[in-house]
Amino acid sequence: MKRIAALLLTFFLTTCFLTAQEPFFCVTPGTVQYYERCRLKTGKLTQTTLFEIKTVEKKKDGRRAKYFVTMKDHWGKDIFGGRTALAVDIDAISDTHMNFGEFIKCFAQNILGDIKITSKGNAALLPSGMRPGDILPDAHCEVSWGILSLVIDVIDRKVLRCETITTPAGTFECVVAREHKIENGPFHYGDEWSDTWYARGVGYVRHDTLNKKMEPIESEILIRRELK
């Protein structure tokens, strides 16, 4: 009986350890994740987003997940030029590094074509060991084309709590993080807060945009998740 109990304990601890090493991003090639964004006051659909995980390549210091993102407006028309190829880096301890500058560069290249676009800055870090109360590093990027540039700062990043939530795609154990994003570019200035629910091996399952009173005004939810 003691031997069985010891084996069960070892299995439990090993399972917990392996689960703890999963990044807060999907690393299963062939996975498709479909999201819908709606205004909370009216329920009006404002955007849909489709993630398609293409490959996960091993690197010397971790992995690189390559995927496609397709965003459409409420009319079903493509945003940012349609299907866009992106990538995130996941290091040896399963921390996820998301380079917003490269993301924006890829979206802009979709729209602007052969125009030379450059990006610089640091990636936003999603540690695999996030815990409530953690303060996450700021992220900064600058994307330039010609004499124009867009600067984005993601600041005041912190982990609020752990929470179990249910969406049409299922029930997920999540870590909830808050951040403040400031965008400054040609004819555009943005200043918003957001709360995001991250699940291991999935990525975000919910993303709320907040007003100045820290009340959610718009919510993006994972609606469907499947392996093709």
- Please give the single-letter amino acid code of residue 75: W
Per-residue pLDDT of the chain (228 residues; tens, 9 = 90+): 444 434 333 333 333 334 447 999 999 999 999 999 999 999 999 999 999 999 999 998 999 999 999 999 999 999 988 899 999 999 999 999 999 899 988 888 888 887 899 999 999 999 999 999 999 999 999 999 888 899 999 999 999 999 999 999 999 999 999 999 999 988 888 899 999 999 999 999 999 999 888 999 999 999 999 998
Residues 6+ apart with CB under 8 A from 50: 32, 33, 34, 35, 68, 69, 70, 71
- Domains in the chain, number: 1
**Which CATH number covers residue 125?**
2.40.360.20
What are the helix (H) ranges across the chain? Answer: 2-20, 100-112
Q: Determine how many CB atoms are found less than 10 A away from the CB of residue 73.
A: 13
| pLDDT for residue 8 | 36
- Domain, as residue range, for 198: 2-227
pTM of the predicted protein model: 0.88
* 12 Cβ contact list (under 8 Å, min separation 6): none
- Of the candidates 17, 106, 29, the one whose C-alpha atom is nearest the C-alpha of residue 64 is 29
At residue 209, what is the residue type?
A: T
The C-alpha atoms of residue 170 and residue 224 are separated, in whole angstroms, by 8
